[in-house]
Chain A
Amino acid sequence: MALPVSDAFIGTDFDTLPIYSANWTNVDGVMEIFSNAYYPNTGSYNASRWNADVFDAEQFAECTIKSLSSSVFIGVGCHLQTDNSANYYYWVGDSATGTYLGEVVAGSGTDLASFTVPSVNDVLRIEVTVSGSIASLVGKINGVSRATTTSTSFVSGSAGVASWGAGTGSRASDFVAGNLASGVTLTVQSSLHAHTVDSPALVQANTLVVDGALHGHTVDVPVLIQANILAVNEALHGHTVGSPVLVQANVLAVDKATHAHWADGLNLIQANTLVVDGSLHAHAVDNLALDISNALVVQGAIHGHTVDSIDLTQASVLSVAGALHDHAAANLDLSQANILTVDSALHAHIVDSVLLNTGGEPLTGDRIVLVTNENRAVLVVDESRLVDVVNEIRRVTFN
């Protein structure tokens, strides 16, 4: 027969297993049929092995619990010896009081592990894997590992059914046994390789080791939970994961010198301090609004102001300290409170038609027009004198 094998034990009550089917060989005690299940019929150990197939060293056996009593343990076994040493095997047995993984050597048994009490209709299973001279035993209930241990007592044999105690109160059926699949270990050791598995599910028992320096990961949408640690140690590698989500616990550190920031819509509020340390840079922010708390300091030697229609109020002081500059404001309206001070030596005023309007009032001692040229000055102190000056300007010479 091809493995895995199965048996539902549909037979005549109280037939021993070898009578029920030639596929069974009794190795310890007596196992019989009752109510389409098997049960132990001697007070100590009972076991029968499946003889129709040869099992690999790495094998499993399982059964479904049909009935449980408190003192009779019913179950399945692995590595039942096929030579004359009959009562040697690993087994897992179930009663209403507990479940134990154990071994039987020359008819004497030792409990190797204890785990949860199962219920009727639970699937009880034992798996054995072998590494060298060590057998690893796993006891499972409904596919969930509940106990593991190791032993060197046996490293080969057949699968079968096993029990301890006697009576029909504990029975099992739906026996299934076979070889454990090989090739379940994924080992990647070469230096250049790619991983294209979509949505891999890594459970705790798996270890993925990538040893090479240059490799790429193209897994789509990986989900990293807290328990996972992704460590990339090599210097040259690329990650093509789209849309990673970094939560608060993540820290993004950029240590290198050359990098760029592309943040749009920079909004500077009062609490921010903008410090620009480099010597050559440009600011391209449009519509910069500087309120009264801002100070604009221009320290360079050559610069120009192109703001039209400067409105200077009384509180404002315009101080121009440079040596060579030109004011092109037209129609400068100088009111009494304003002071225009021009300190440097070489400059020109191109204001046309300076009009002094006294409003019809005569110039008094307080209304003085002083025109200076080098060390000379013409002082106009009276409106009539202004006419004279205009009229006489062709005649006045400065010595």
Chain B
Amino acid sequence: MSKRIYLMPLLLVGGVRSPKYLKGRVTPAALDVEWAGLPCGQQDVMLVSAEVTQGQHSELVALADVAAFPLDLDNAVTAAALPTVKATLDSFDIPSHWVNTSFTYRRVLRRIMRLFFLSQQLNAKWAVKLFNGTITPASAVVSMPENARLKLTALASSLGVDVALLPLDTKIREVMRLMMEAWPKSPIELHGVSI
């Protein structure tokens, strides 16, 4: 048994969300293991740590919409793996343009967790959902609905990021990158593990 970290969809049923492939209130028949996760605000994706066997891990990574982090998070993202990492993050509407081969998977994970925290605050404070299929991380900030844009700007400002100083065609993913970098750098705990 080992704790493995995955990105997987959240399944929404009747106002309740559970990770799609792990046992929850709306997924009672899914894999029954101890797990803990971080949702990305209203986005239906979760970063989840699960205590699994090698066999259970193999079952999970065989699923098309599940991505696993390596067991050793201190491995660097190789040039060969970089395109897959970027494509995987993009598939979950997670900005990926900042990832390069100087990053370890732990550093990538920390940034994703910060991004998820930002999305949680947007949701909890203002019920804002950033991406909806039409608006993606590659969309320009000016293309966002006004309420979402104002709330994103306010949250960025609270972290010292002045969106008003950015060019008009600045992408949402670039604002998110600046906010991720502005987030306090202290370690983040998930499922009893300090990331």
Chain A residues with a Cβ under 8 A of chain B: 44-45, 73, 88, 97-98, 100-101, 105-116, 131-134, 136, 145-154, 164
Comparing B9-17, B56-64, B82-90, B96-104, the segment that makes contact with chain A is B9-17
B: contact size bracket = 20 to 34
Q: How far is the CB of A69 from chain B (nearest CB, A)?
A: 14
Q: For residue A133, which residues in chain B have a CB less than 8 angstroms away from its CB? A: 117, 121
**Residues in chain B near residue A105, CB distance under 8 A:** 123-124, 127
B137 interfacial contact with A, CB 8 Å: no
**CB<8 Å pairs between A and B, sample of 14:** A45-B15, A100-B24, A100-B25, A110-B17, A110-B18, A111-B17, A111-B25, A111-B37, A112-B38, A113-B191, A133-B117, A148-B190, A151-B38, A151-B120
Contact with A along B181-192 (1 / 0, CB 8 A): 000101011111
Decide: A152 and B189 in contact? CB cutoff 8 A. no
Which of the 9-residue segments B28-36, B67-75, B142-150, B167-175 touches chain A? B28-36
Query: Residues of B contacting A152 with CB < 8 Å?
Result: 117-118, 120-121, 124
Which residue of the partner chain A has the closest CB to B10? A110
Query: What are the interface flags for B152-195 relative to A under an 8 Å C-beta threshold, 1 for contact and 0 otherwise?
Result: 00000000000000000000000000000000101011111000
- Please state if B34 and A150 are interface contacts (CB–CB under 8 Å): no
A292 and B139 alpha carbons, distance in the complex (Å): 100
Kindly state whether residue B112 has any CB partner on chain A within 8 Å: no
- Measured in the bound complex, the distance between the Cα atoms of B193 and A113 in whole Å is 14
Instruction: Enumerate the 9 nearest inter-chain pairs by beta-carbon distance, A residue then B residue, closest first.
Output: A153-B124, A113-B36, A149-B36, A111-B24, A152-B117, A110-B17, A111-B18, A152-B120, A108-B15
Chain A hits for B25, CB < 8 A? 73, 98, 100, 109, 111, 164
Q: At the interface, yes or no: B77 with Cβ under 8 Å from chain A?
A: no
Report chain B residues within 8 Å CB of A107: 15
A264 to B64, CA, bound (A): 74
Q: Which one, B36, B124, B186, contacts A131 given CB within 8 A?
A: B186
B191–A109 touching, CB < 8 Å: no
Chain B binding surface SS class = mixed
- B18 CB to closest chain A CB, in angstroms? 5
B→A interface (CB under 8 Å)? 10, 14-19, 22-25, 28, 33-39, 46, 117-118, 120-121, 123-124, 127, 184, 186, 188-192
| A113-B15 in contact (CB<8A) | no
**Residue with the highest number of chain B CB atoms closer than 10 Å, among A97, A111, A145:** A111
Report whether A108 and B124 are in contact in the complex, using a CB–CB cutoff of 8 Å: no
> A153 CA to B37 CA in the complex, in Å?
14
Inter-chain contact B17/A109, CB cutoff 8 Å: yes
A100 CB contacts on chain B under 8 angstroms:
24-25
CB-contact partner of B189 in A88, A110, A148, under 8 A: A148
In angstroms, Cα B16 to Cα A109, docked, is: 5
Contact, CB under 8 Å: A136 / B189:
yes
Q: When A106-B127, A109-B15, A133-B121 are in contact, do A98 and B38 touch as well, CB less than 8 Å?
A: no
